[in-house]
Amino acid sequence: MESLQYPIGRFVALPDYTPAQLRTYIDDIRYLPQLVEIAVQQLDEYQLQTPYRPDGWTVAQVVHHLADSHMNGYTRMKLALTEDKPVIKPYEEQLWAELPDVKFTPVNMSITLLYALHRRWVSLMEHLTPEDWERTFIHPANGTQHNLKTHAANYSWHGKHHLEHILRLKERMDW
Reported confidence tier of residue 93, pLDDT bands at 50, 70, 90: very high
Q: Can you tell me the distance from the alpha carbon of 144 to that of 140, in angstroms, rounded to the nearest whole number? A: 7
Residue 6 lies in a domain: no
- In a domain, residue 118? The reply is yes
Please give the residue range of the domain that contains residue 117.
18-173
Give me the chain's average pLDDT, please.
Answer: 97
Closest CA to 68 of 29, 94, 50, 41: 94
CATH number for position 75: 1.20.120.450
User: What pLDDT shows up at residue 10?
Assistant: 97
Residue 13 in domain: no
Q: How many domains are contained in the chain?
A: 1
Tens-place pLDDT, residues 126-164? 999 999 999 999 999 989 999 999 999 999 999 999 999
**Would 77 be classed as within a structural domain?**
yes
Q: Residue 83 domain-assigned?
A: yes
